Amino acid sequence: MKNLKELFEHQLKDLYSAESQLVSALPKMVKNASDSKLKKAFESHLKETKEQKKRLEEICTELGIKPGGEKCKAMAGLIKEAEGFIEEAESDEVMDAGLIAEAQRVEHYEISGYGTAVRYAKELGHKEIAQKLQKTLDEEYDADNKLDKLAEGRLNEEAMA
């Protein structure tokens, strides 16, 4: 990579790979969540993730590059870890708590990736692309906040029991 433009393109491909992997992995999270609110949160984030993937395709088309060809190894690792956890959880309670933790790791990873991408887009003068990436970034923040609330809700329920 010789310049910021190439680095930006690399980051976009990396994000595209991350979103693609997540589209394949989220149904397993939906299936294993037992709390109905958590299940719904994963379902709605799956829909959102498909849109985010499409958004990246549009951005790549605008830039005249192909979104494929990279594998985001960090996301692969996060997903592998989540899948390993699913095998090990022995109660609904542990499963839900752990799924929230794994999902938040994913969101935080995406937040840092999109935060960087927004900055690079601005720096390179791609105003509309920066706005599109910002939209996804906002959605990732919302998803993370929703998971925070669900995690807190779990604690409150436990305290009441």
Nearer to Fe ion, 11 or 52 (CB): 52
Using CB under 5 A as the binding rule, the residues of this chain from 108 to 147 that contact Fe ion are 110
Binding-site size for Fe ion (CB under 5 A) equals 3
Task: Work out how close the CB of 58 gets to Fe ion at its nearest, in angstroms, rounded to a whole number.
Answer: 15
Q: Per CB under 5 A, which region of 2-10, 27-35, 54-62, 105-113 contacts Fe ion?
A: 105-113
| Distance (Å) of CA 41 to CA 29, 119, 139, 143 | 10, 28, 12, 8
Residues 6, 57: Cα–Cα separation, whole Å: 17
Q: Is 17 in the site for Fe ion (CB under 5 A)?
A: no
CB neighbour class for 43 (10 Å; exposed up to 12, middle 13-18, buried from 19):
middle
Q: Per CB under 5 A, which region of 4-12, 32-40, 63-71, 103-111 contacts Fe ion?
A: 103-111
Q: Per CB under 5 A, which region of 58-66, 102-110, 121-129, 148-156 contacts Fe ion?
A: 102-110
Q: Is 21 in the site for Fe ion (CB under 5 A)?
A: no
Q: Is 20 in the site for Fe ion (CB under 5 A)?
A: no
**Residue among 26, 29, 50 at smallest CA distance from 136:** 50
Q: Is 52 in the site for Fe ion (CB under 5 A)?
A: yes
CA torsion through residues 53, 55, 57, 63, sign: negative
Residues 101, 78: Cα–Cα separation, whole Å: 11
| Residues forming the site for Fe ion (CB under 5 A) | 49, 52, 110
